[in-house]
Amino acid sequence: MKSRGNADSLEAAIGDRIAGRRGPPPEMDLPRYAVDRAAHRLRGVPFVESPNCDARPDADDISLLVVHAISLPPNQFGGPWVERLFTNRLDPAAHPYFETIKGLKVSAHLLIDRGGRVAQYVPFHMRAWHAGESCFDGRRRCNDFSIGIELEGCDEQPFAAVQYTRLAQVAGALMAAYPAIRPARIVGHSDIAPGRKTDPGPHFDWTRFIYGLEYPR
């Protein structure tokens, strides 16, 4: 498992980006996403409301970004299944695996699919149910203070180039809107739930992602 903390060159990448020594690679072509702070939604992306959320203990405490990976059925991409899971409309009869997660109530704030399409399911000031039992920097219950982004992907296959592009764009917009989120506070699910979760998995290139970030300094 390759976690954020074990990526040897990650801290150097962060330092280079902060010092302005290296910008995003040419293919990033970053159009500017922005967060509507009144609605706590990402402008220009579809919003599909998930019932799997509730109020944060402190709506102003948004200070962590968690990167996940999801595929339904496992290791398969495409189809409506992730959205149906997030909206409690997943038919257990549609695939044998779905019967094993029947009744599961989860969500993420955002999903980035293999084609780079972004969708939002929970407003950012609300608590999405994405991290589960978790701990960051000695603080438990990461759902309380984090934003969760799911990438359509798995441990066995590389992510699409466009997913890195979109993730960098979206993360930059979130960092501008919620300045307590800094590069050092962007983690994988495996970093906050070690031994329980492996995503975003060994194929996620943290250095590539960090180099692509555009954020206020």
At 186, phi and psi to the nearest 5? -115, 120
Q: Is 137 exposed, middle or buried (0-12, 13-18, 19+ CB in 10 A)?
A: exposed
Which one of the listed residues 83, 150, 152, 214 is annotated catalytic? 150
Strand order in the sheet with 146-152: 118-120, 110-112, 146-152, 64-70, 186-188
Active site residue 150: yes
Within the chain, where are the H helices? 10-19, 81-86, 96-100, 161-177, 189-192, 206-212
In single-letter form, the type of residue at position 215 comes to Y
Q: Find, among 55, 54, 84, the residue nearest to 72 by Cα.
A: 84
Cβ neighbours for 164, distance < 8 A, ≥ 6 positions apart:
28, 205, 208, 209, 212
Catalytic residues: 150
